[in-house]
């Protein structure tokens, strides 16, 4: 396994962007199921679901040879990507742009 800083940085960017796309897919599914939920659940529930999948995935990767450093940066990048996406969605909704 490649543990170089460049490889970890590339994974950071990939996971940051992928978490945003996963959040948007979960949000679309959540709205498809029922759109009568309160606003805070519409923003938070998809983020929690996406992060829960990431939390369940990383121990499996570490158990099969991934370094702990990569796992920590994966958590940080996924959490950061979700936080940024949730902030962006909330910002757009507050300005009635979404």
What is residue 43's predicted lDDT score, i.e. its pLDDT? Answer: 85
Q: At residue 34, does pLDDT exceed 80?
A: no
**Cβ atoms of residues 8 and 73 within 8 Å:** yes
The model's pLDDT over 69-83, given as tens digits with 9 standing for 90+, comes to 888 999 999 999 999
Based on the number of CB atoms within 10 Å of its own CB, is 75 exposed (0-12), middle (13-18) or buried (19 or more)? middle
Q: List alpha helices for 34-95, DSSP H.
A: 39-63, 68-94
As a whole-number percent, the residues of the chain with pLDDT over 90 amount to: 43
HSE (side-chain half, CA atoms, 13 Å) at 83: 6
What is residue 12's predicted lDDT score, i.e. its pLDDT? Answer: 93
* Strands (DSSP E) found in 7-80: none
What is residue 20's predicted lDDT score, i.e. its pLDDT? Answer: 93
Taking the model in full, what pTM does it have?
Answer: 0.84
How far lies 81's CA from each of 26, 41, 64, 73, in Å?
14, 18, 25, 12
For residues 29 and 34, the model is more confident at 29
């Amino acid at each position: 396994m490649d543990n170089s800083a460049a490889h970890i940085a590339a994974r950071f960017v990939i996971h940051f962007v992928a978490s945003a796309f996963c959040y948007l897919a979960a949000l679309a599914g959540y709205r498809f199921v029922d759109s009568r939920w309160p606003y805070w659940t519409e923003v938070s529930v998809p983020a929690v679901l996406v992060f829960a999948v990431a939390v369940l995935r990383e121990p499996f990767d570490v158990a099969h040879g991934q370094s702990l450093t990569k796992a920590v940066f994966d958590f940080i990048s996924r959490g950061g990507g979700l936080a940024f996406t949730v902030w962006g969605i909330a910002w757009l909704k507050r300005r009635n742009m979404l």
